[in-house]
Amino acid sequence: MTRFHLFAFLIPLALLQPARAAEKEGTAEDRGAINRLLESALKAYNDHDARAWSLIFHSDAELTNVIGWTFHGRQEIEPYFQRLFAPQRHPKLPSFQKAVVKPDGAPQIRFLRPDVASVRYAWTQSGATGLKDEVLPPRSMLVTLHVTKENGVWGIASYHNMDLRAGQPREVPAELKQP
C-alpha cells in the first residue's frame, strides 16, 4: 500500500472519531427529552394514572418489576398498574394508590447510539400498602431503563426495577473494577 492509499484510508477514519465521541455524549436536546420523559413518569406515577404511566413506554416495551415479573407491551403494563393504583387493593398485590415516588439524585444517562440510551435512576417510594393492608416502610429503588428514539420521540423500550439494600454501595467499589 502506498503512502497515498494509507492516508486516503486513515484520514476519513480520523475525521469520524470526533463524531463518534459526540454520539456517545448525546445532544442537549436529546438529554432534555429524556429528562422530560423521566419527569412525565414521576408525574404519572404520583398521579396514580396508569394510562399516562403506560404512555411513557413504547407500545412493545418490556417492564420487569422488583420481584421479576415481566410485562410485555402497554397492553399488559397499563392493566397491571391500574390494579396497583386502584382505590381497593387487589388481593394478590400491594397497593400504590397512595404511594409517592421521589428522585434520589440525578439520572445517569449514557448514550449507546444517537437513538439509544441507557438510564440509571434512583428513587424512593413511600405510602405503599402491603398484602396485609399494612403501610410499608419507605423503599430505596433503582430503575434501569433502555430508552429509544422512535419517529423522533423518546420512550422506554425496557424497564427493570430493583430494591436497593440498606448500606449497600450504590457504585461498584474501585478495587473491584480493576483486573
CA-nearest of 117, 123, 102, 150 to 34 is 117
pLDDT band at residue 11, thresholds of 50, 70 and 90?
A: very low
The predicted structure's pLDDT at residue 73: 96
Average per-residue pLDDT for the chain:
88
Higher-confidence residue of 1 and 89: namely: 89
Asked which of 103-107, 124-128, 131-135, 165-169 is least confident by mean pLDDT, the reply is: 165-169
What are the cell numbers at 69? Answer: 415479573
Domain assignment present for residue 132? The answer is yes
Domain assignment present for residue 39? The answer is yes
d(CA 57, CA 154): 9
Q: How many domains does the structure of the chain reveal? A: 1
Domain assignment present for residue 175? The answer is no
In tens, the pLDDT along 18-47 reads 445 445 678 999 999 999 999 999 999 999
Domain assignment present for residue 29? The answer is yes
CA distances in angstroms from 131 to 35, 70, 118, 128, 170, listed in the order given: 33, 20, 33, 10, 29
In tens, the pLDDT along 53-79 reads 999 999 999 999 998 899 999 999 999
Output the pTM of the full model. Answer: 0.81
Residue 56: which domain range?
25-165
- Name the DSSP class of 45: H
Portion of the chain with pLDDT greater than 90, in percent: 75
Portion of the chain with pLDDT greater than 70, in percent: 86
pLDDT above 90 for 134? yes
CATH of the domain at 87: 3.10.450.50
